Copies of this chain bind each other. A is one copy, B any other.
């Protein structure tokens, strides 16, 4: 058969193809949206206003809308913008969970993204499908609320991933406001890692790369003023060695 014939055949096939002929799992996206508040890691959760799991807390997510979303990442960004009013500076696909038991309505697939945001300039908005929204504090990798579906497990695994990445990447930089001191940055690493690091090792690591640049300003704290830095290069950086907590 010639290649032209195959193309003709494929057109005929596509015309007669009916997307509803086969059973398909439902497809959603969930976001684990992290920020830092009062030196502690927090995650954004919403209270569901619809069944199933009505009135329970859940991650920020929703079904893919085949009409408005060109791809999965657009679904993630749409939900994130709807709830926070901002575009996230960092969004990474974490993992996809699909099985027949996670949703009482049947076979369901969710693609989980995680986002890192500075907490300034965010105005929380309950948006569609929710009647409450809040930042939940992460303590020892867990929050006090029980989440809908398998979201508690997703949150635990995602936070574990963020933690292990903080040992060899600059990802926590995406949680920082525009200007910050090295000490403040180290506190954010501590919040993510749940462990402390040697200040000399930490500063050496941050300053020998080309990640930061000094501003002309100092943070006036009432004690010795601290140099304010800003991010110079907004690509994530991967160190060749991991750093240890204390």
Contact = CB atoms under 8 A, between A and B. Distances in A.
B25 A24 contact: yes
Given A55-B6, A98-B27, A111-B96, A106 B19 contact: yes
Contacts of A72: 96-99, 109
Contact of A107 (B6, B10, B26, B66): B66
Nearest to A243: B240
B14 A100 contact: no
Nearest to A112: B96
A241 interface: yes
A200 interface: no
A25 B96 CA distance: 15
Interface string A1-44: 10000100110011001011011111100000000000000000
28 contacts: A1-B55, A6-B54, A6-B55, A9-B54, A10-B51, A10-B52, A10-B53, A13-B52, A14-B51, A17-B105, A19-B23, A19-B105, A19-B106, A22-B63, A24-B25, A24-B66, A25-B27, A27-B109, A64-B98, A66-B106, A70-B99, A70-B101, A72-B96, A72-B109, A93-B95, A96-B96, A109-B109, A241-B242
